[in-house]
A and B are shown apart, each in its own frame.
Chain A
Amino acid sequence: DQQVKQNSPSLSVQEGRISILNCDYTNSMFDYFLWYKKYPAEGPTFLISISSIKDKNEDGRFTVFLNKSAKHLSLHIVPSQPGDSAVYFCAASGSNYKLTFGKGTLLTVNP
C-alpha cells in the first residue's frame, strides 16, 4: 500500500511559468516532508523540506506548502527554468526517521 502518492507521472511547463508538483500521503504519523530532484544517471538531490509544525517553507524559487488536514503537499517552482527539468520525488518520515518515497513526477520545462 503506497503511503506517499504522486499521482502525476509527468508535467510539462513553459519556461518562466509556475510549476506545481503535488504529493498526497496517507500516514497521519508522518511529520517531516521532503522534495528531492533527480537528473538522469545521478542520485536524488535534496531540494527542500518542511516540518509538520509549518505550512509553508520557501527557498529561492522553490516553495513547499503543507496541508495537514488534506494530507497534501505541493512544490511550487517560480519561475521555472529549463534546468529544472528532472524527476521530482516527494518523501515523508515519522518518528522512526525512515523516508517513504513517492514514485516521482517527471517535470519538463520547455524553452
Chain B
Amino acid sequence: DAMVIQNPRYQVTQFGKPVTLSCSQTLNHNVMYWYQQKSSQAPKLLFHYYDKDFNNEADTPDNFQSRRPNTSFCFLDIRSPGLGDAAMYLCATSRDLRENQPQHFGDGTRLSIL
C-alpha cells in the first residue's frame, strides 16, 4: 500500500542534543509537509517542500531545519531541542499545490526531551 512512513515512532533526546526525524513516502507526491502538534492543540505547519523548493512558515523557529534529498524522503532536524519542543511531529504529503486536495499523514513521531 502506498503510504507515508515516519521513523522513529518515539524519540527521546537530551536538552540541547540535535535530533533528526525521518519521513518517507511511496505516493510519489511532489509536496511534503512537517507539522508540530502539542497536546490538545491543532497541528501547526512548520514548513513544506514543493519538489526541491523549501518554504518556511514565518513563525517557525530557526532551531528547526529540513532536508529533502529526493522525492521520497524528508527529514526534520532540530538543532538544539528545548523542553518546549516536546511534541508530536507529523509528516504529510500531497500531490501538488495547484489544486485543492487532501494531505496524507504519517503516524507521527513523538519527541520527548530530557
Selecting from A13-21, A68-76, A96-104, the interface stretch reads A96-104
| Given A4-B42, A43-B107, 10 extra CB contacts under 8 A | A32-B100, A36-B105, A41-B9, A43-B105, A49-B100, A97-B94, A98-B45, A98-B48, A103-B42, A104-B42
Contact B43 A46 (CB under 8 A): no
Q: Out of A43, A44, A97, which one reaches B100, CB within 8 Å?
A: A97
B61 at the interface (CB under 8 A from A): no
User: Does A31 lie at the interface of the complex (its beta carbon under 8 Å from any beta carbon of B)?
Assistant: yes
Using CB atoms and an 8 Å cutoff, list the residues of chain A in contact with chain B.
2, 4, 9, 31-32, 34, 36, 41-46, 49, 51, 89, 93, 96-104
**B70 an interface residue at 8 Å Cβ cutoff?**
no
State which of A34, A43, A93, A97 has its C-beta within 8 Å of the C-beta of B4: A43
Closest to A32 in B: B100
Number of B positions contacting A (CB below 8 A) = 23
Complex: chain A residue closest to B96, CB-CB: A97
Q: How far is the CB of B103 from chain A (nearest CB, A)?
A: 6
Q: With both chains docked as a complex, state the minimum distance between the C-beta of A11 and any C-beta of chain B, in angstroms.
A: 15
How far apart are the CA atoms of A103 and B43 in the complex, in Å? Answer: 8
A99: which of B9, B99, B103, B108 is its contact (CB, 8 Å)? B103
Decide if B106 touches A101 in the complex (CB within 8 Å). Answer: no
Number of A-B contacts (CB under 8 A): 51
Q: Is the CB of B40 within 8 A of A103?
A: yes
Q: Name the contact of B90 in the complex, choosing from A34, A44, A93, A100 (C-beta under 8 A).
A: A44
B97 at the binding interface (Cβ < 8 Å): yes
Measured CB to CB, the closest approach of chain B to A30, in angstroms, equals 11
Interface residues in B79-104 by Cβ distance below 8 A to A read 90, 92, 94, 97-100, 102-104
Q: Is the CB of B42 within 8 A of A42?
A: no
- For the complex formed, measure the closest distance between the CB of A75 and the CB atoms of chain B, giving whole angstroms: 14
Name the CB-closest residue of A to B103.
Answer: A99
Distance, CA A9 to CA B99, complexed state (A): 31
Which of B94, B99, B102, B108 interacts with A43 by CB under 8 Å?
Answer: B108
